[in-house]
Amino acid sequence: MSTKDIIYRSCPTCEASCGLTLEVDRDRGDILSIKGDAEDTRSNGYVCAKSQAFAHIHSDPERLRRPVKRIGDDWIEVEWDEALTDIAARLKDIRELHGKDAIAMYYGNPNGHNFHTQIYTQLFIQMLDTERFFSAGSVDQQPKNLSSDLLYGNPWLFPVPDLTRTDFFVCMGGNPLVSQGSLLGAPDAAAHLADIRKRGGKVVVLDPRHTETAQAADQHLFIRPGTDALLLFAWVNQLFVQGLVAIGPLGDCVDGLERLEALARPFTPEAIAERTGIKPADLLALVADFNAADSPSLYGRIGLCTQAFGTLASWLIDVVNLLQGRLDAEGGAMFARPATGQNENTGEPAELMHGRWHSRARGLPEYMSMLPASCMAEELECSGEDAVHALITVAGNPVLSVPNGKRIDAALDNVGFVVALDIYINETTRHADYILPSTTQLEHSNYDFLFSAFAQRNFARYSPRVFKPAPGSLDQYAIFVELLSRMNGLQASELNEMLFEGMLETVLKAPALEHVDASAVREATAHHHNGERLLDILLRIGPYGDRFGEARDGLTLDKVMASPHGIDLGPLQAGVLPDMLRTKGGRISLLHPLLEADIVRLHDSLSFKVPELVLIGRRHIRDMNSWLHNLSNYARGKNRCTLMINPADARARNLMDGGEAKIGSTVGELIVPVEFNDGLMPGVVSLPHGFGHRYRGTRQSVATDMLPGVSANDLIDDQALDIPSGTSVVNGVPVSVTAINSV
Ligand SMILES: Nc1nc2c(c(=O)[nH]1)N[C@H]1C(S)=C(S)[C@@H](COP(=O)(O)OP(=O)(O)OC[C@H]3O[C@@H](n4cnc5c(=O)[nH]c(N)nc54)[C@H](O)[C@@H]3O)O[C@H]1N2
Ligand SMILES: Nc1nc2c(c(=O)[nH]1)N[C@H]1C(S)=C(S)[C@@H](COP(=O)(O)OP(=O)(O)OC[C@H]3O[C@@H](n4cnc5c(=O)[nH]c(N)nc54)[C@H](O)[C@@H]3O)O[C@H]1N2
Ligand code: SF4
Ligand SMILES: [Mo]
């Protein structure tokens, strides 16, 4: 007999976290349908093509279900206990023999969709205590982390464009129509933009490509890759020159205005015009339109982060909003107040975690306990005392996702012991000695922890697990716990207890919670376990929480669990600053030595020659970085891994539309299919990342057969960085393109 169940949960594939309605047969373990949840308080029924992805992943026969161990070129399935015991023993030996930094770790993107993993990662990193910790964050948002760190004392406090109330939205280096928004949590971004226009507002896009978002905008300006900081500095320059600085209520807590004015002086609209490709008249019109609008909002995303001046560009976005009184203001760039309280002021000013140690090979500074992913290959290549003897990857595929991936691929052969926490044998994990597959998203519960910190409206949303995991299988956090307990001679229950007590002590330190009794908290949350118990605490002491009885109507995990469509906690509120600032003295310092040093570099860049051709990336609605390509539904259709090039640039090189070309850079050469596209700025070509499923020994036959493509990261130089944050420069990479077989 089988029974049909309806389960509501959020989609774990991208940041939009849309609400889904799943019709399932739990007895058979079948998904009957996945649709948008019309009652979801945030997405109102919207879903994109990738909403079906996690069901396909669940049923993909090539997905690993049990640990596998390498024997020569073969893999054999092994028992969990055997694998965990052997791995822990080998890691322990390596640590004892070669020191803690001989174990490296790489942490990938899907972890952002796994609340339990996020909570336990802290423990895992603390106990591994390695200086060789890399993550996808330094091929992504770390410039924005650093900017927020310097301005607000909290690297995860991101201003979110208030799409629902702005009347003038300026989007730089983001393509929300395809990505569904990043650091702006807006399911159905197209509807949001259409609404702005319906309200009589305007949408302006600055991008080297006439993107899907640009097509839905009122105005699009081509900007040369990597030059946004120049343009934004010229904008700041004009705000001072034209007397348009009007900070508003935050004016009293901002330092460094005069210095900023002086630093902005050389960046005149005329001085930056050639480098940026933006005519002075266009910039002046943009400055004037933004200033004249009622509720303008300026937003920058990954195109502004993963470029030569990522930190300065990310910082200048906030500076322009601030100088125009748009930071922390309705319709401007606002701050979310997640129910789990991570944006609340802890009462103690935060120390900047930067440069506390350096990479061995290049001497690059640590940021947020991590070294740049772009220096991973060279760290893995170190020998002697500095050698890396073990690498642990956690839901990441750096061979395809990190610059100079081929070098990482080769360097992995240099590492004696590789453990991958992953669900596929792919380009990276094929190097592993063991692969440990966690439960999939359908088999574990989730809470939208990270993404509630940059949502359009405040919300709380718990997702129950859909299917019981197979007997003996482990959630990813449990894999961490099992490894750590074995490495350190502890019981798993002891570690869970340590984490719980440690967190309890930390959270109860906040001044507002001093009167809350720890034993009452232990008792009140005892019916939840592990991550869920910690989640209950966070929700209850958070800004909407019941404070363990003090605010009777307040949130508890039980209440959130009882609201399958999520709980709407209202629109973002203006005026959360200066309270949320964790800076010393609760003030915003516009400048910092890290920024000032890079402004010198930016100024020098004014005299650089514009490269003839540079490479940028692009995303497609059916991709998610490198890891959905083994699903035939998403691999089907036209090849998306093409080199887009402006027809004029193409003809000048004798290229043919639909033909092939050779593209070369400082680190590699590829043969790519050519696609003429007049949406590309002259002098700019575009190739998506996440492809290149061409390595032997992987087990993703759909990807390798149907959609291998080439890896853009084989062209991207691992030496080029946004200096302050150590983030990879994947946009604006100088390349040459030549015809092959041209007539
Ligand atoms: N050139 C270029 N490079 C880029 C970018 C770019 O724009 N251009 N973008 C960058 C960005 S923004 C990001 S976020 C990174 C992504 O970089 P990564 O996170 O390194 O790469 P992904 O392709 O997301 O790899 C995800 C891995 O997680 C595994 N996985 C999926 N689900 C689960 C799960 O539930 N459990 C476990 N254990 N594993 C799972 C997949 O099998 C895959 O191996 O790429 C970056 N690289
Ligand atoms: N369908 C799909 N959705 C995704 C992902 C995916 O792979 N596929 N990945 C997810 C992840 S991990 C992330 S981080 C987000 C990213 O979300 P977005 O930031 O919206 O990412 P992109 O679509 O890559 O948009 C970046 C834009 O920057 C432009 N650009 C490149 N260089 C420059 C530059 O120097 N200056 C300016 N002004 N623009 C530049 C590019 O042309 C592109 O339009 O998307 C998420 N959503
Ligand atoms: S936009 Fe698509 S992939 Fe992203 S959360 Fe929504 S349904 Fe899932
Ligand atoms: Mo990302």
Q: Within 10 A of 678 (CB to CB), how many other CB atoms are there?
A: 11
Structure tokens at 279: 């005519």
Per-chain mean pLDDT for the chain: 95
Lowest mean pLDDT among 98-102, 227-231, 550-554: 550-554
> How far, in Å, from the CA of 231 to the mean position of ligand 3?
33
Residue 645 carries which side chain, given as an amino acid letter? I
For 129-174, how does the pLDDT look when each residue is reduced to its tens digit (9 = 90+)? Answer: 999 999 999 999 999 999 999 999 999 999 999 999 999 999 999 9
pLDDT of the residue at 397: 98
CA 24 to chain centre: 31
Averaged over 186-213, what is the pLDDT? Answer: 97
Q: CA angle, corner 354, sides to 350 and 360, nearest 5?
A: 150
Instruction: Please compute the mean of the pLDDT values over residues 699-703 and round it to a whole number.
Output: 97
CATH 3.10.129.10 fits 144-341+576-602, yes or no: no
Rounded CA-CA distance 618/731 in Å is 10
CB–CB of 4/29 below 8 Å?
Answer: no
DSSP assignments along 176-242, one per residue: HHHH--SSS--SSHHHHHHHHHHTT-EEEEE-SB--HHHHTSSEEE---TT-HHHHHHHHHHHHHHT
Nearest residue (CA) to ligand 2, atom 32: 303
Asked if 505 contacts 533 with a C-beta cutoff of 8 angstroms, the reply is no
pLDDT digits (tens, 9 = 90+) for 240-280: 999 999 999 999 999 999 999 999 999 999 999 999 999 99
pLDDT of residue 2: 64
Return the percentage of the chain with pLDDT > 90, whole number: 91
Counting ligands in written order, the one closest to the CA of 43 is 3
Structure tokens at 352: 């900047």
Ligand 1 pocket check for 135: Cβ under 6 Å: no
Who lines ligand 2 at CB under 6 A?
14, 109, 140, 172-176, 178-180, 182, 206-209, 211, 223, 225-226, 228, 301-304, 307, 616-621, 623-625, 731-732
Predicted structure pTM score: 0.98
Q: Which residues contact 84 (CB under 8 A, 6 or more apart)?
A: 436, 479, 482, 483, 486
**In sequence order, which ranges of 419-511 are alpha helices (DSSP H)?**
476-488, 492-507
Q: Label residue 297 by pLDDT band (50, 70, 90).
A: very high
Q: Which atom of ligand 2 is nearest to the CA of 109?
A: 12
When mean pLDDT is compared across 308-322, 356-370, 482-496, 676-690, the lowest value belongs to 482-496
Q: What is the CATH code for 611-741?
A: 2.40.40.20
Q: Measure 12 CA to ligand 3 centroid, in angstroms.
A: 8
Q: What pLDDT was estimated at residue 374?
A: 98
With a CB cutoff of 8 Å and minimum separation 6, the contacts of 600 are none
Tokens of 554: 């307040």
Question: What sign has the CA pseudo-torsion 221, 227, 228, 230?
Answer: negative
Query: Which residues, at least 6 apart from 476, have a Cβ–Cβ distance to it below 8 Å?
Result: 111, 114, 116, 117, 120, 394, 395, 421, 438, 439
pLDDT at 147: 98
Q: Which two tokens stand for residue 292?
A: 């004249």
Q: Give the integer Cα–Cα distance in Å for 20 and 41.
A: 11
Atom of ligand 3 minimally distant from the CA of 20: 7
Average pLDDT over residues 459-485: 94
Note whether 144-341+576-602 and 611-741 share their fold: no
Nearest alpha carbon to residue 101 among 325, 361, 395, 337: 361
For residue 234, how far is its CA from the centre of ligand 4 (angstroms)? 28
Tell whether the model's pLDDT for residue 658 goes beyond 60: yes
Residues 6+ apart with CB under 8 A from 199: 167
- Name the E strands within 237-326: 254-255, 296-300
Report the distance separating Cα 431 and Cα 280, nearest Å: 52
- What's the pLDDT at 741? 66
Whether the pLDDT of residue 29 is over 90: the answer is no
Burial (CB count <10 Å: 0-12, 13-18, 19+), residue 596: exposed
The residue-averaged pLDDT of 558-575 equals 97
Q: Tell me which of 109, 111, 731 to substitute to probe ligand 1's pocket, judged by most ligand atoms within 8 Å of the beta carbon.
A: 109
Ligand number nearest CA of 207 is 2
Whether residue 535 has its Cβ less than 6 Å from ligand 1: no
Burial class (CB in 10 A: 0-12, 13-18, 19+), 248: middle
CATH dotted code for 68-142+351-436: 3.40.50.740
Cα–Cα distance measured from residue 124 to residue 105, given in angstroms and rounded to the nearest whole number: 10
Q: Token match 């007999």: residue?
A: 1
Whether the pLDDT of residue 743 is over 50: the answer is no
Instruction: Provide mean pLDDT across the span 387-412.
Output: 98
Distance CA(47)–CA(56), nearest Å, equals 16
Q: CB under 6 Å to ligand 3: residues?
A: 11, 13-14, 16-18, 47-48, 50-51, 180, 187
Could you read off the pLDDT of 418-466 as tens digits, one per residue?
A: 999 999 999 999 999 999 999 999 999 999 999 999 999 999 999 999 9
Can you give the residue ranges of every domain in the chain?
68-142+351-436, 144-341+576-602, 611-741
3-state secondary structure of 645: strand
Are 733 and 665 contacting, i.e. CB atoms less than 8 angstroms apart? yes
- Ligand 1 neighbour 67 (Cβ under 6 A): no
Point out the ligand nearest to the CA of residue 628: 1
Residue 132 falls in which region: left (phi positive, over 0), alpha (psi -120 to 50) or beta: beta
Task: Name the 3-class secondary structure at 727.
Answer: strand
DSSP for 581-610, written as a single string: --SGGG-EES--HHHHHHHHHHHHHTTSPP
What end-to-end distance do the CA atoms of the chain give, in Å? 66
Cα separation of 163 and 185, whole Å? 10
> Is the peptide bond preceding residue 578 cis, with omega within 30 degrees of 0?
yes
With a cut of 50, say whether residue 299 has pLDDT above it: yes
